[in-house]
Chain A
Amino acid sequence: MIPTLQLFLVVSVTLFSIGLLAALSRRHAIFILIGIELMLAAASLNFIAFWRFGPQPRPPTGVMIAIFSIAIAAAEAVVGLAMVIAVYRHYRTTNVDQFDRLKG
């Protein structure tokens, strides 16, 4: 099949929903982070696919958004993982179901 824009978008949507599955259905904090990173990457793929298939010539806006999104995702992963380590030191577990001290 010739890769049309639709096909790229289908792949990106599949990646996004797999990331969503990982983020919503796992109990370990790091798995959730993995899911979030997958969702971000799927969105970048989307942007670049639209840039590539749009009317040419045009400024590389989609590419720039993808570059910045990678940088921001890296920053967010760093802070998220630091929080997981800090929380682990107190609770001795990474199961997000057990972070419920503020409940009720």
Chain B
Amino acid sequence: MSSSLDQIFIRIKQLLLAPLAGAPDWVMQIASALINIFALLGVFLTLFAIISVLERKILGRMQNRYGPNRVGPFGLFQPVADGIKMLIKEDIVPARADKVVHFLAPILIAATAILALGVIPYGRNMTPFAIDGGILFFFAVGSTTELAVFMAGWGSNNKFSMLGAMRAIAQMISYELPLIITTFPVVMVVGALSPDAIVAAQNGDSFGVLPHWFVTTPWGAAAFILFFVSGLVESNRTPFDVPEGESEIVAGHMTEYSGFKYATFFMAEYIGMFAISGLAVTLFLGGWHAPIRGLEFIPSYVWFFVKLSILLFIYIWARGTLPRTRIDQIMNFAWKFMLPMAFTCIIAAAVWHYAGRGVAGWFWSLAVLGVVYIALSILLDTRKRFATRTYRFAE
């Protein structure tokens, strides 16, 4: 019974494809891909709508106020109101803007964000496009986002947009390195780039309670924290939202976009958030596996979305709590701290593997990480050292 509930979406898809049973191979492939795409878009666009109102309500509660609560019960129809507002706004394009580039930029950003969602396993047998180099596909598509951000900044023919775009690209390129390098330990230990294989390798548990997820190992925990922070930066979320800092450069590369195009940028940012959280769940938190063996009757996709929701809550929590960092602080952090720690995670993973994957491996890899962390803290000590204060009084 529980396994049929688990595979219910697969059964529905097979039911939908049954009328095409006699068709040639390529028709089946295209039909199957189309069903996958529509299901993906349906789920994630709904999730985007829900998250946009939930975020404002959670932020409001953290700031000791109600969030939006006028439209519908508890304000939950706010996305509908927002959508209607965005659609009926006048679409203003600057007169001397590069029309083609200005038009294509939001489309490209949204397209790359949605493409990245296609390789994440959402449940048992539920990866929309299971290709052999899935993780590489995710990062290849993610790196195309920078080009789209540049197009947005350039196409607006506006100095603030250009400045915002350059800052955004500098930030995204700097943090792409820790993002990708922290996935190397996982790929190394599993031996495959395919997300399905990575989730399958996190099967099983010790003593029935401690799951074999990679986040329960020291290198996995460190890599998860680094990956998560890099994900925060890649999606331009506070505390790293310098590119769209409202008090500094209006809306950065999105300044000259109004109405539906702005909504597309907004949607692309949230879908990027979903994609990175989804990948973090896949790589470190065990994908669609249940934490303890007793809870395995709950379907796999429910577990995936529960873990995804926890990560999204942490994103929103960070936004409500932390102030914005300066751009030079962001760059320093990336190149001087996160990159060495990311490389250390690779070494710690190798140490864990070769010391047997048991308790001894755990302690040795924790030692490697601890030594490097302490060394970096001492070397990068940026506390100001003040000279002793001399007081001079008029005599």
Determine direct contact between A and B, CB below 8 Å: no
Footprint of B on A, CB under 8 Å? Answer: none
